[in-house]
Amino acid sequence: MLTLYGRELGSRMLLGTARYPSPAILADAVRQAGTEVVTVSLRRETAGGRSGGAFFELIRELGVRVLPNTAGCHSASEAVLTAKMAREVFGTNWIKLEVIGNHDTLQPDVFGLVEAARILAGEGFEVFPYTTDDLVVAERLVEAGCKVLMPWCAPIGSAMGPQNIAALRTMRAHFPEVPLIVDAGIGRPSHATIVMELGYDAVLLNTAVAGAGNPALMAAAFAKAIDAGRAAFEAGMLEPRDMAVPSTPVIGKAVFS
């Protein structure tokens, strides 16, 4: 069972709600994934507020927890205000904190991130920081009050999969008690399995599912891959070795010459 800020969750797959071909396909993907948490955002509404209202209803009908994000914010102050507005709309203290530092890579501005995390944690928010795999930044985030960490494994939407396994492994070893969620960069189910085998607690996905030829089927595939990786981690895996080891016992083997 995964516990995030005191909430127990049966699914270790968190799903973004953007880039699906249609709202119906999004809903189908959420159901197929069995996900219990979806990420959402806030944007300027045109007069009348109808497009936001339709999306709001869709999310309500899905019956899942929402994790609002601060996507698109490039400063701590922007992110803090967006988080407050998200709390007003969605009625949750959960916030996926993004402070973007580089336009091309969408790499987090980790300095602004730590600053915003400290302010928000002080105001009762339960912060899910989108961060890099830098260990010292992770320590600062925990000191700032974050009880969950969400390192990228590659740039958002890149589908490259884990680029620095050693760093992810180090982070896992260094924070054995902090729930770690890989957020961003996953492209295919095997990538999710890899990070789950490392002992990560969950995976947050969006483009890899929404951009698939059949998003609902891909959501189901990811759910299985994540479960498989988690089960493998809990089961305890063999370490690789250089030499062969016969799997069939040699004792009692016939001698023909």
Which of 3, 51, 102, 190 is close enough to bind another protein by CB under 8 A?
Answer: 51
Total number of residues shown for the chain: 257
- Say whether residue 156 binds another protein (CB under 8 A): yes
Catalytic residues: 96
Q: What's the CA gap between 193 and 189, in Å, rounded?
A: 6
Q: Which two tokens stand for residue 33?
A: 């994934």
Select 162 or 185, whichever has its Cβ closest to another protein.
185
CA-based diameter of the chain, in Å? 91
Binding to another protein, residues 95-154 (CB under 8 A): none
Report which of 124, 129, 128 is spatially closest to residue 111, judged by C-alpha positions: 129
* CA gyration radius, the chain: 20
Burial class (CB in 10 A: 0-12, 13-18, 19+), 114: buried
The bridge status of strand 94-97 relative to strand 2-4 is unpaired
Select 7 or 49, whichever has its Cβ closest to another protein.
49
Binding mask 165-204 for another protein (x = CB under 8 A): ----------------------------------------
Select 128 or 233, whichever has its Cβ closest to another protein.
128
Q: What's the CA gap between 102 and 53, in Å, rounded?
A: 32
- Pick the piece of the chain touching another protein (CB under 8 A) from 27-35, 53-61, 131-139, 187-195: 53-61
Which of 4, 9, 13, 20 is close enough to bind another protein by CB under 8 A?
Answer: 20
Q: Which residues bind another protein (CB under 8 A)?
A: 16-20, 26, 39-45, 47-53, 55-56, 59, 68-69, 71, 77, 81-82, 84-86, 88-90, 156-157, 206-207
